[in-house]
Amino acid sequence: MARKIVAGNWKMNHNLKEGLEVVQALEAYLLKIAPKNVETVIAPPFIHIAQAAEISKNTHLSIAGQDCSAQESGAFTGEVSAAMLKSAGAELVIIGHSERRQYFKETHAQLSAKVEQAWANNLLPIFCVGESLEDRKAGHHFKTVEDQISGALGKYDAAQLENLVIAYEPVWAIGTGETASGAQAQEMHAHIRSFIAQQHNATLADEISVLYGGSVKPANAEELFGQPDVDGGLIGGASLQADTFIELIKIGEAVL
């Protein structure tokens, strides 16, 4: 069975004090309920990771990087390597978020190298895909997502891809308040699985986790998480406050 994950991506929000307060509140809640059905993840800014990982080491809360370098180490000013993330206590890393693709022009080849760096350092990559509004309007959304998967992951085999999570985040639904309907999410998630089955095999297609992201909030999470091919969420704005994220964890526990 695919692993079920409720993950928060804080993007460039929260200073250190604010962020650690949220992690502490999540930790207190997770210590009480010890979630059984879902893994919980927060991807804070890099500078929070070591302390966030220390606070959360006794619970199911795992810490993720929001990105990592495509390079192993060396003279790449401003970059953070996968090895550094691991040494700070991260267990996962988001790779290929649409904001990285759009604003930092990350290419398939760079994303592929980042995935390799994550694997080499025992980090689970959360690999993001998703179409723009223009793609969807033109009916190219399936093709765009297929190209993103095969462009960066095409050279890897099924055994490698068992250690990877996909997050489907339609760009038009990110931070816009507009969300995919349950039916739209289900349709794309099922398509991603059938594409993986065709490229690899049915076991990988069944077992790979496919998360939905894009304006997930308590009001729509039940519909989205309740879809058969949705294994959880990658949540931006609604993960910034502990109480809202806890609501989402509760919904995940109930319906995933």
Binding stretches for ligand 13P (CB under 6 A) = 9, 97, 169, 174-175, 213-216, 234-238
Nearer to ligand 13P, 48 or 200 (CB): 48
Residue with tokens 């704005």: 237
Minimum CB distance to ligand 13P, residue 213 (Å): 4
Tokens of 231: 């294994």
Residue in the shown chain whose Cβ atom is closest to ligand 13P: 236
User: Which residue among 27, 39, 106, 169 is the active-site one?
Assistant: 169
Q: Which is nearer to ligand 13P, 36 or 105 (CB)?
A: 105
Q: Shortest Cβ distance from residue 187 to ligand 13P (Å)?
A: 19
Amino acid code (one letter) for 106: E
Tokens of 210: 């496919």
Q: For residues 169 and 229, which CB has a smaller minimum distance to ligand 13P in the complex?
A: 169
Least separation in angstroms between residue 217's CB and ligand 13P is: 7
**Cβ proximity to ligand 13P, 204 vs 210, nearer residue:** 210
Catalytic: 189? no
| Smallest gap from residue 52 Cβ to ligand 13P (A) | 17
Angle (nearest 5°) at CA 102 between 227 and 188:
20
Chain center to CA of 33: 23
CA–CA separation, 40 and 252 (whole Å) = 10
CA distances from 216 to 6, 48, 99, 178, 248 (A): 11, 23, 17, 9, 9
Inter-residue contact 198 to 153 (CB < 8 Å): no
48 Cβ contact partners less than 8 Å away, ≥ 6 residues apart:
14, 16, 19, 20, 23
Q: How far is the CB of 77 from ligand 13P (least distance, A)?
A: 26
Among the listed residues 48, 60, 97, 141, the single catalytic one is: 97
**Catalytic: 169?**
yes
Kindly tell me which of 153 and 171 has the beta carbon lying closer to ligand 13P: 171
Q: How far apart are CA 95 and CA 103, in angstroms?
A: 14
Catalytic residues: 97, 169
